[in-house]
Structure 1
Amino acid sequence: MTMSSGAAPRPAVPLVATVVLVATLGSIYIVSQFLRNSIGVIAPDLASEMTLSAAEIGLLSSTFFFAFSAAQIPLGICLDRYGPKICMIVCAGIAIAGAILFALAASTSWLIAGRILMGVGSCCYLMAPLAVYARRYAPNQFATLVGIQLGLGSIGTLLATAPLAWSVSFFGWRHTFIAVAGLMLLAGLLVAFVVREDGPAQGADGRRESLRESLAGTLQVFRTPSVGKLFLMNLAAYSSFVLVVGLWGGPYLTHIYGYGLTERGDMLFIAAVAQIVAAFVYGPTDRLLRSYKIPVVTGALSTALVLAVMAVAGRVPTVWLVAWFVAVGAVSAYTPVMIAHGKSLFPPHLVGRGITVLNIGTMGGVFLTQTVSGFVINLFPITDGAYALDAYRLVFGLQALFVFAACIPYLWARDSWGRDWGRDS
């Protein structure tokens, strides 16, 4: 995920070319984000139709993130050896197969297999665009481009709320996923025709790395100062939003407040909109504050507070419920700054592997929290098919503690804002 030479100046990219490129990379990320977050709205329907327990629902959702996470190190090597365009095209085919398999599944095992393929197929649609941006744009533009990419991708999260509920109510969830497979095909074709193939990245000495050198570079990533601290922060950060909007928010609204398919879709839609707006706001905050850590710590502690409030409050009036879902989306949108912080730790020839290693934490954290939360909810009695309020309160409270705990080592991470490896190395 680099330029050909760490010290070579980047030529300015015309505005129109930038808009077309960002729109193309954003479109395929939108589809992958939809696949990632699609369980939350349909979870009660899946549980009823396929007779799934809370633990099975949690496992079904989390296997996407496990597969996604497991693919990150191979992805990082492939990005630096073969280039982002090839990676995106191959992954599109895998994601299409997963969506079709999920739609046709007749058992829980086939649903899980479909989610695994969707996870592997979606593994590159943030990292590969970031590879493109890192190669073509200056470091001080990177966090803003990350914010735009994440903001556009959040449209996929948005589509996995009320629009998904609408589609399921008219066409059913199976036909909906067949249609999404078609959209992934179109997005993959768009990438094939629009994105320029930059070719493989080069090593620190300007030549292409061998596979052995690529693997050695991956080990070097793990030895980079502050990587462990950022990895822990990545474990907790994104998982908070997905825990609510991508999994338990829908069942929570149905079981505790009696919301139907459309109503819970609308509420999750509100949270997704809040995250989209906040992602664009968070993007440039590192430049305004001249720091990565200040906006990240602020967002993380705010997320822990918002989750703790609902854990303590229990059932609340509708106006406070809406405010809480808005807050969940808004305060957890600091991911672009955290990604930029991670990128700044690595020299150009290690950036691809570096941020994909950190992304293992991001997706591994979702797998961990969703799997554990399913087992936690299963510890409580089920009444008329509904999970207990105290079960949800405990899940929110545990996540709040998780985020707060991850903040502590992150406070001692190196704040490498403004570092340009092309200039400083």
Structure 2
Amino acid sequence: MTAEVARPSSLATRETVVLVAALASIYVVSQFLRNSVGVIAPNLASELGLSASEIGLLSSVFFFSFAAAQIPLGVALDRYGPRLCMLVCAGIAIAGALLFAFAPSPLWLIAARVLMGLGSSAYLMAPLALYAKRYAPDRFATLVGLQLGLGTLGTLLATAPFAFAVALIGWRMSFVVIAGLVLAAAVLVTVVVRDDRQEASRARESLRDSLSGTLQAVRIPSFWPVFALQLGSYSSFVVVVGLWGGPYLTHIYGYSLTERGNMLFVAVLAQIVGAMLWGPTDRLLNSYKIPVLTGHLLTAAAFGLAAVVGVFSPAALLVWFLAIGLFPAVLPVLIAHGKSLFPPHLVGRGMTLMNIGTMGGVFVCQTVTGFIIDLFPPAGDGYALDAYRSVFAFQAGFILLACLAYSFSSDPRRNPRTWG
């Protein structure tokens, strides 16, 4: 076995700051692309005559293609290194953003979202693979929190700033600007990120061995319980901020484009702060499961409350959107739990497999909730209140079932395992 290279225990180094900044910059664009339908969903519905299920499909197909890319991405990360994967994906993401900007019909919009999903598929897992290789394990969750927290600035841009841009230059020209930002971020990654020398030798691993490693990863004890909660974790945030939050604010509360952008902005701010607050809790509590279950049970409670109440007072609505940002932000600790299950040579494949759950869960939830809303007759120019309440009830139940499955996982913080 190759001796492990000494890894820095401190994160307060110039090299780390520059690396995290570069990796977060391109993740910002990925986050914008995945959540960009939420603010403009009412615009797309009126301009192109899309139903709720069609809007759900338009948003969720991004996550389907993103999830579908994870297994080949995991193999590529372990064979060719994170840097090359990120640069190839940048070209695909640029093509998707430009196609969306000039799409003449809903079918072309869907094709563009597929390309966006494929192009964005590396911008969380590739950085996490770098962090896993270069830093001590007890710093991983903190780095994940930083990556998610800083990257969520992209989700922030998809709220009030995007609403302002749409009002100023339209949603099509806004996507042309985003394509330029992807290019700029890719150039930054090219300059800053360098793969380890060991990556070149790993590329000699045969494809058969790479696929065999994927099968090994899914057989790791506790893989499936952790995977189950990945399905419900990120989807809880995106099903509101990335899709139905905007229509809910417009149809039920009468919010304008700018007003709904501002409210979604609040949820994203809470997500950014929450990711950084939750990140170190695995070390503070010496447990992955305690903070993960706490955050997700609180998330289920928030959705359950919305399903029962339906319409909040202005102050309560603000608090609810804060909760939808803050509670699901425990995701960095869940990701760290998943990473801790795998030996070093399977980390890339293992984390990308877990990410299939993260993004696949969003695809399932956004698609299903679109069909749920279409079960109810329209109310005036929008969707009925009972339709939204049903969506919230569905998400609450989904999270609770996922938490039940997750409760059967082992906690490596409490019972560490060593790799021979």
- TMscore range, shorter length: over 0.9
Does structure 2 conserve the Cα–Cα contact (< 8 Å) formed by 1:80 and 1:200? no
2:175 to 177, 194, 197: 177
1:311 aligns with 2:291: no
The equivalences for 1:199-210 within 5 A come to 201=199, 208-210=204-206
What secondary structure, in the 3-state scheme, does the structure 2 residue paired with 1:224 have? Answer: coil
CA distance change for structure 1 residues 136 and 225 in 2, over 3 Å: closer, same or farther? same
The equivalences for 1:239-318 within 5 A come to 239-318=235-314
* TM-superposition CA deviations, 1:310-333 (whole Å, max 9, x none): 000011211111110001100110
Does structure 1 conserve the Cα–Cα contact (< 8 Å) formed by 2:9 and 2:139? no
- Name the CA distance, whole Å, in 2 between partners of 1:123 and 1:97: 14
- Name the CA distance, whole Å, in 1 between partners of 2:100 and 2:282: 40
Tell me which amino acid in the other structure corresponds to 2:25. Answer: S
Tell me which amino acid in the other structure corresponds to 2:337. Answer: H
CA distance change for structure 1 residues 292 and 208 in 2, over 3 Å: closer, same or farther? farther
Q: CA deviation at 1:412?
A: 1.2
The residue aligned with 1:416 is 412
Tell me which amino acid in the other structure corresponds to 1:146. Answer: V
The equivalences for 1:203-242 within 5 A come to 208-242=204-238
What secondary structure, in the 3-state scheme, does the structure 1 residue paired with 2:121 have? Answer: coil
What secondary structure, in the 3-state scheme, does the structure 1 residue paired with 2:329 have? Answer: coil
What secondary structure, in the 3-state scheme, does the structure 2 residue paired with 1:332 have? Answer: helix
- Name the CA distance, whole Å, in 2 between partners of 1:82 and 1:374: 38
Runs of 4+ in 1 over 4 A off after TM superposition: 11-14, 199-203, 418-421
CA distance change for structure 1 residues 184 and 413 in 2, over 3 Å: closer, same or farther? same
- Name the CA distance, whole Å, in 1 between partners of 2:203 and 2:242: 42
2:195 to 169, 188, 197: 197
1:401 to 397, 400, 420: 397
In structure 2, the gaps of 5 or more residues are: none
1:120 aligns with 2:114: no
* TM-superposition CA deviations, 1:208-260 (whole Å, max 9, x none): 52111000000111111111101110001110100000000000000000001
Does structure 1 conserve the Cα–Cα contact (< 8 Å) formed by 2:80 and 2:203? no
Q: CA deviation at 1:201?
A: 4.5
The residue aligned with 2:71 is 73
2:317 to 316, 321, 324: 321
TM-score normalised by L of structure 2: 0.97
2:154 to 148, 152, 156: 156
CA distance change for structure 1 residues 284 and 388 in 2, over 3 Å: closer, same or farther? same
CA distance change for structure 1 residues 86 and 160 in 2, over 3 Å: closer, same or farther? same
The equivalences for 1:40-189 within 5 A come to 40-189=38-187
CA distance change for structure 1 residues 113 and 207 in 2, over 3 Å: closer, same or farther? closer
- Name the CA distance, whole Å, in 2 between partners of 1:140 and 1:262: 42
Taking only the aligned residue pairs, the percentage that are identical comes to 63
1:21 to 5, 10, 19: 19
Q: CA deviation at 1:418?
A: 7.2
1:362 aligns with 2:393: no
Does structure 1 conserve the Cα–Cα contact (< 8 Å) formed by 2:80 and 2:200? no
* TM-superposition CA deviations, 1:172-210 (whole Å, max 9, x none): 00000000000000000000011112256499xx89521
In structure 1, the gaps of 5 or more residues are: none
Does structure 1 conserve the Cα–Cα contact (< 8 Å) formed by 2:8 and 2:136? no
Q: CA deviation at 1:8?
A: 3.9
- Name the CA distance, whole Å, in 1 between partners of 2:320 and 2:409: 30
1:343 aligns with 2:334: no
1:10 to 7, 12, 18: 7
CA distance change for structure 1 residues 199 and 380 in 2, over 3 Å: closer, same or farther? farther
CA distance change for structure 1 residues 147 and 20 in 2, over 3 Å: closer, same or farther? same
- Name the CA distance, whole Å, in 1 between partners of 2:8 and 2:358: 32
Q: CA deviation at 1:409?
A: 1.6
What secondary structure, in the 3-state scheme, does the structure 2 residue paired with 1:255 have? Answer: helix
The number of residue pairs the alignment matches comes to: 419
- Name the CA distance, whole Å, in 2 between partners of 1:71 and 1:268: 28
* TM-superposition CA deviations, 1:262-299 (whole Å, max 9, x none): 00000000000001001000000000000000000001
Does structure 2 conserve the Cα–Cα contact (< 8 Å) formed by 1:83 and 1:199? no
- Name the CA distance, whole Å, in 1 between partners of 2:97 and 2:198: 30
Q: CA deviation at 1:12?
A: 6.2
Q: CA deviation at 1:10?
A: 2.3
